A and B are shown apart, each in its own frame.
Chain A
Amino acid sequence: MLSTTEQELEKKFQERIDKGESIEAKDWMPERYRKQLIRMMGQHAHSEVVGMLPEGNWITRAPSLRRKCVLLAKVQDEAGHGLYIYSGTETLGISREQMLDELLAGKAKYSSIFNYPTLSWADIGAIGWLVDGAAIVNQTVLAKGSYGPYARAMVRICKEENFHHKQGYEILATLMKGTPEQRAMAQDSINRWWWPALMMFGPSDKDSPNSAELLRWKVKRYSNDELRQRFIDRTVPQAENIGLTLPDPDLKWNEERQHYEFGTINWNEFYEVINGNGICNKDRLKARRKAHEEGAWVREAANAYARKKSGETIAA
């Protein structure tokens, strides 16, 4: 039971939200609000960092120097986003180390899409076009969310994601204008990435445990299904434009609804991957743990050196 004071505070909090005010780090907020944001922002930051692995998989094999540079710049952006969102999450009273510990212990989630493998160069295109495309639909809305530090981070991040989205589409467009092998590579990639990209919006709202509360607090502004529909509507014409076939026989335009209809998503696969059974779940965590463990001596040395230096300053 909430005490009377807390009930009042929560009422005022909700009024601020309803008026469209932005909540800042030092403002009073319900404990659940804080926890939900830590969960969401932490997941987002982890996704940026884990997402470097499938893309990093192709930097050393990028087929031209220009593509290599663009991909390096993109992955560097992702690391920057991770850093930025971790800092934003720290305003809620959790440290980056705590968040990383939760990730490495397998307690914190990251976007399940990164548990799928990058098997060809075209997958770098598909990640940019579909995965970043889906992320943009989500994040454009998050940029209008109620928590100030997160919303502001999203504004900046969306700008860069738009560039990532374009470069991914351009990779695929170039492949589709190329040799039969290149076109097959692009099509195969879309066959594998389309459905997982749709799953990125999360389960249907009736099955999404956090949705109602997040909508009430304007952390989320639209339902998962609405955002998924928005993504599909804008992506189908782009696919047609470069001659890619989306792997869904039920996909068709509904004139009356002014939306595309689409087939049934395999939610069983979604839950299996979330629960650790995707192709790359174990590899991704293993890679992150290895980096963390092998970097321990570096972090210890940097700390020891900083202590010695500050000791010198004090002594001087």
Chain B
Amino acid sequence: MTNQEAIFEYCLRIGDTSLILGQRLAEWCGHGPILEEDIALTNISLDLIGQTRGFYDYACQVENKGRTEDDLAFLRNDRDYRNLLMAEQPNGDFGQTIFRQFLISSYYTLFFTALSKSNDETLAALAQKSLKEVNYHLRHSTEWMLRLGNGTEESARRMRTAVEELWMFTEDFFDMNDVDRILLQAGIGIDNSALRADWLHFAQDKMKEAGLLIPEKSFAIRGSREGKHTEHLGHILAEMQSLHRAHPGATW
């Protein structure tokens, strides 16, 4: 695998994760618990899909086969998608959406901080821009996690359920394969597994403030690096790609 091929794959991971999470958040549009949250969730969704476009654009450049951002988004099947399994998990109730956001945003805060020092200028610039947005997403989801975890009995119970539903997908964040090793060696990518300790420390602290405990026993579900997904992704793509695929070659 060349560096260029590895960068392509790296960009897909990041772009796919933000696209699928953005798509999930967009499902909330018009259905939020208060109008302010309709605005916040669509805003985060918009940031995320904007990030996708940046990383896809770079992926297309390094691939140099004339593919566009829309080819990547709308004409790949689930096995070619590299998004974190966490991103495709259903919205559930508002608490579950918030907890999913907290987990991913806290991971991406560390990830983009590290990647912003990449010696690939484009990746570093994309990471810096994304980091600003992700910091806000993390603040928003952390504040809500504290409110819900410490709010009422019902909200605390719902947050505990969210932890049970989602925790098993966190190990998938830190897996590394050849792509990571090649890019790490070249000073382009980051040591992903090294983020785990800091992340766990941070997540545990904040969850504790919200009265939430990390499950003692949890079997880790992983596989995003190889495009092995949960059943949910196929449905997300079926919906997202339906119109685009129904009109091959059309311009929108």
What residues make up the interface of A, taking CB atoms closer than 8 Å to B?
49, 52-53, 56, 59-69, 72-73, 75-76, 79-80, 82-83, 86, 121, 171, 174, 177-179, 181-182, 287, 290-291, 294-305, 308
Contact = CB atoms under 8 A, between A and B. Distances in A.
21 contacts: A56-B29, A56-B30, A60-B26, A60-B239, A61-B243, A63-B250, A64-B244, A64-B252, A65-B49, A68-B26, A68-B49, A72-B45, A73-B46, A76-B43, A82-B35, A86-B35, A178-B250, A287-B30, A294-B94, A302-B147, A305-B150
Given A75-B42, A182-B247, 9 more contacts: A52-B30, A59-B29, A63-B250, A64-B252, A73-B46, A79-B35, A83-B36, A121-B243, A294-B33
Looking at chain B, what size class is its interface with the partner chain?
35 or more
A72 B244 contact: no
A72 B19 CA distance: 13
Contacts, number: 140
B206 interface: no
B113 interface: no
Nearest to B249: A179
Given A59-B26, A79-B39, A287-B31, A67 B252 contact: yes
Nearest to A181: B247
**Closest 4 A-B residue pairs measured CB to CB?**
A295-B33, A301-B151, A301-B155, A56-B29
Contacts of A86: 35
Contact of A52 (B29, B73, B244, B247): B29
A64 B70 contact: yes
Contact of B49 (A69, A291, A301, A308): A69
Contact of B250 (A76, A179, A308): A179
B146 interface: yes
B42 A72 contact: yes
Contacts of A296: 33
Q: Of B33, B53, B56, B244, which is in contact with the most chain A CB atoms at under 10 Å from its CB?
A: B33
Interface in B22-46: 23, 26-27, 29-39, 42-43, 45-46
Contacts of A177: 251
Nearest to A182: B250
A191 B34 CA distance: 35
A300 B93 CA distance: 15
Interface in B67-113: 69-70, 73-74, 93-95
Contact of B151 (A73, A76, A290, A300): A300
A297 B31 contact: no
B234 to A, nearest CB: 14
Nearest to A302: B147
B242 interface: yes
A121 B150 CA distance: 43
A299 B35 CA distance: 11
Q: Of A62, A69, A72, A76, which is in contact with the most chain B CB atoms at under 10 Å from its CB?
A: A72
B238 to A, nearest CB: 10
A79 B150 CA distance: 28
Contacts of B56: 65
B51 to A, nearest CB: 11
Contacts of A121: 243, 252
Given A61-B243, A64-B252, A295 B94 contact: yes
B73 A65 contact: yes
B252 A301 contact: no
B154 interface: yes
Contacts of B239: 60-61
Nearest to A48: B35
Contacts of B117: none
Q: Of A60, A86, A299, which is in contact with the most chain B CB atoms at under 10 Å from its CB?
A: A60
Contacts of A178: 250-252
Given A65-B70, A297-B154, A60 B27 contact: yes
A83 B34 CA distance: 10
B38 A52 contact: yes
A76 B27 CA distance: 13
Contacts of A174: 251-252
